[in-house]
Each structure stands twice: as structure tokens, then as C-alpha cells.
Amino acid sequence: MAFLHPHIKTKLPGPKSKRVLALDEKYVSPSYTRSYPLVAKSGRGSFIEDMDGNVFLDFTSGIAVTASGHCHPRVVKAIQEQAAKLIHMSGTDFYYPQQAELAKRLVNLFPGGKGSGKAFLTNSGAESVEAALKLARWVTKRPQIISFLGAFHGRTMGALSVTGSKITQKERFFPLVPGVTHVPYPDPYHTPKGMTPDDYTNFCLDWISERIFKTIVPPSEVAAIIVEPIQGEGGYIVPQNSFFKGLRKICDAHGILLIVDEVQSGIGRTGKMFAIEHTGVTPDIICIAKGIASGLPLGAMIARGSIMHWTTGAHANTFGGNPLACVAATATLDLLDEGMMKNAAKQGEYLMKNLQGMMRRHSEIGDVRGRGLMVGAEIVSDRKRKTRAPKRRNDIVDKAFRKGLLLLGCGPNTIRFAPPLSVTRAEVDMALKIFEACL
Ligand SMILES: Cc1ncc(COP(=O)(O)O)c(C=O)c1O
């Protein structure tokens, strides 16, 4: 069934949802971080229907995953047809065309070095990051990694080691993988006192080349710098382009690999295939997952030309590049090429412009930023002092849910807008209206 607008007809959560919530509470790990009790039954395009027939406008895309919308008929058809032919044959031990064909397509998307790289297919973002860290160590024969405060790269031990997001994600999990140094990430909104965004960008670059490399870690022992082009879980923070140019320079000066984690920002979300393309910088390795297969578990670590030459057996997995996920990814990439990526740029601009307009009417919005359909609105209690208001942010997200709009927070006090790339202008208008009613 297709939906045209949100529609809440029961008290939330409704009775059928409540039954699932009780089951979940009894049997599912309590470590998950649900913000509100949405129990999804079906999805179509930008809408989710819950167990009780309530309809929500989904501006989360199941956390930046359903790039082509929920259950796009072409993605569904590709999965159904493939499921009837071959569900699994393990790309580690055997061959099948879907994996090689998708790898070719991904390699051809690599900014700068089109066509000359190789892809390792995974099942998740964390696994793509693990693969990148391992490849960087393997290729450079160096042990150290530089990562950023506020970064989120996943929860497996390697990915968690380079993460610098929330202490609950790390508490009681030490010792992590050694050899990681976290350095500041230049948030242009929250600059240290007296610094302009330019100053802060230079400060962060100097921190690596003048402080860390001269006092803590010799650059000759650093395998890679891993960075998100836009910090996702950290708060949808968009550094200046000069920051990435500076990182590239540092890497080139010392034979260090530049890994960009595009797990959240990649696959058209920002209006370009990869967010790093907005900066003009060519990385050595790109990690992707989330949106690539519109909801099937798939990720990839794509490496530039000469890098991926590790030996047979150095790295592998059982499920990565599963045929069902590969055909879902191919259908998703087709849809992006046929207009959804352009749509992301167009609707994103419209969304951001309108949120910026709203900022003039509501002082509790301190900042609006982003690229394409990766847009964040930071909630503050004092705009002049930029005082973060995390509780108020949570209240707004909860209120939006009760009015039929699914949003999620990121960072301590930011609300993220990450609808499917298929979102229409009418849906953006609906979301804006509900959001403003929550302020
Ligand atoms: C930038 C980034 N990297 C890695 C990950 C981890 O991905 P996954 O949850 O699929 O392991 C995430 C997840 O939010 C992410 O945003």
C-alpha cells in the first residue's frame, strides 16, 4: 500500500506494538538505543506503517539506509528474482557474477582513480572499516592509525578503537586495538574561543603535523588517517574543504593512507556519490555500507589502484557480497543514476534553505548544516553562547514521532534529517511543517 501523508490513529504505542515491545524487552539485548517506541510493520517510499496502522513519514531512512526508499519495486523485484535462483554461495570460496559485477561498478565510482581499484565486499559499516584498517596495516607495514574525536566508525573491536563518539560505547571494552591516536575534528560551529573556522581548521591540521608527529607518534609509523567527510553520529558536522586538502597533504608527505569513512555520507546521500567529492580530495580507501543496498546488509571497502595487493587468505568473510545484497545494490545504483542522486541534491537544498528560514523564527535552532539529504539542526538553549540542549533535542524528536514524523538525534544535541533519496518536495514540506510544530 502506498501512503501520501502521516496518519496517527491510536495512542502511541498502540496495542499491537505494545505486544512486540513486551516481547522485545523480554528477549532482545538491552544494549540497543531506541529513542521512541516505533514498531514497524511495512514500508513504502518515505513512509512506515506501524503494527497498529499508524503511518509515519520516515526522515531517518532506517538510519540512512533505505536510499531508494522503503521497498522500492525495482529493488524488491531484483531480490525476489535472485532469491529464486541463488541465495548464497560464499564469495570467499567460490565465484558468482553478481559480486564481480558490483565490484566493477563500485571501483568505477571511485573518485580520482576511476576503474583502477578493487573492492572487498562486507556485511556492515564496521566490517568495511575493519577491512580498511587491516589493509592499511598490511600495505604500509606500519602499526599506527590517526582518528578523530567525535568520530563513529562502528562497534567491532578495530572500528571501536578508532571511534571517539560516546563513552558508553567503549566503557568496559578495553583493551581495544592499540596504536590509535585521536585528534580534534574542526567543527566550524563550535570553535574554541577566539578562533574562526579557518583558524580551527589550521589548528587541527597543525595538531597532527606539529604536535602529534613531533611528540607522540612518528609519522613513519602511521599507516592511515581515517576520517568521516561529514561526522555522522558525531552530529552531522561538515568541516571546511581545506581540512581535507590539508589531510591529503599530510598523508602525501609521509606515505600515509587516507581512509574516508563514507558509511553514512556515501552512496548519493549528499547529492554526489561520495561526500569527499565535494572537497576535491582523492582518498586512498573508501568505506561504504548503509545505503548501498537499500536495506540489505552490504558494505564495501574500495581501495585505489595499487593498494589492494594483499595475499590470498589475508582477509575474507562468509556472507560479504551475498548475491541478494549485490542485486539490491545494483538496482539501487541504477535508481541513483536515473535521478535519485540529483533529487537528493535538489530536495536537500530545499530542506536546508527552509530549515535555515525556520532558524530565523526559532531561537532554539542554533545551526543548520549539511550537504544534500544529510542535514542537521543543532538545538541550543542560548543561541549566543551556543549552549547545547540535549534534553530539549530529545523532547523534539519524541514530539515529532507522536505527530507522525520519524527523526533521530546525532551528536549531543543535533537532529538529523536523512530521508530516502527518493523523497518528494511535498514530503519535505510535510516534514518541515511537523518539525516546526514541535518547536
Ligand atoms: C560513519 C560510520 N561508520 C561506520 C558505521 C558502522 O556501521 P554498522 O552499524 O553498519 O556497523 C556507522 C554507523 O552508523 C557510521 O555512521
Peptide bond into 175 cis (omega under 30): yes
Average pLDDT over residues 56-71: 98
Which residues have CB under 8 Å from 93's CB, separation 6+? none
User: Do residues 254 and 292 share a domain?
Assistant: yes
Percent of the chain at pLDDT > 90 equals 97
Task: Give the distance (Å) from ligand 1 centre to CA of residue 9.
Answer: 34
User: Do residues 20 and 33 share a domain?
Assistant: yes
User: Do residues 93 and 65 share a domain?
Assistant: no
| CATH code, 152 | 3.40.640.10
Domain for residue 383, yes or no? yes
Give the model's confidence band at 121: pLDDT under 50 very low, under 70 low, under 90 confident, else very high. Answer: very high
User: Do residues 364 and 310 share a domain?
Assistant: no
Residue 297 alpha carbon, nearest atom of ligand 1: 10
Structural domains counted in the chain: 2
Q: pLDDT tens digits, residue range 372-410?
A: 999 999 999 999 999 999 999 999 999 999 999 999 999
Q: Which pLDDT value is given to residue 112? A: 77
Q: Which pLDDT value is given to residue 35? A: 95
Residue 151 alpha carbon, nearest atom of ligand 1: 1
User: Do residues 26 and 79 share a domain?
Assistant: no
User: Do residues 268 and 171 share a domain?
Assistant: yes
**Radius of gyration (C-alpha) of the chain in whole angstroms:** 21
User: Do residues 59 and 85 share a domain?
Assistant: no
User: Do residues 130 and 241 share a domain?
Assistant: yes
Q: pLDDT tens digits, residue range 288-299?
A: 999 999 999 999
Ligand 1 mutation pick, 133, 290, 408, max ligand atoms within 8 A of CB: 290
Residue 156 alpha carbon, nearest atom of ligand 1: 11
Cell numbers given for 216: 607522540
- pLDDT at residue 306 above 90? no
User: Do residues 55 and 79 share a domain?
Assistant: no
Q: Which pLDDT value is given to residue 58? A: 98
Distance CA 58, CA 360 (A): 25
- Please tell me the least confidently modeled range out of 112-116, 124-128, 243-247: 112-116
User: Do residues 242 and 391 share a domain?
Assistant: no
What is the residue type of 317?
Answer: N
| CATH code, 356 | 3.90.1150.10
What range defines the domain where residue 375 resides?
Answer: 15-71+341-438
Domain for residue 29, yes or no? yes
Domain for residue 3, yes or no? no
- Please tell me the least confidently modeled range out of 55-59, 133-137, 288-292, 302-306: 302-306
- pLDDT at residue 114 above 80? no
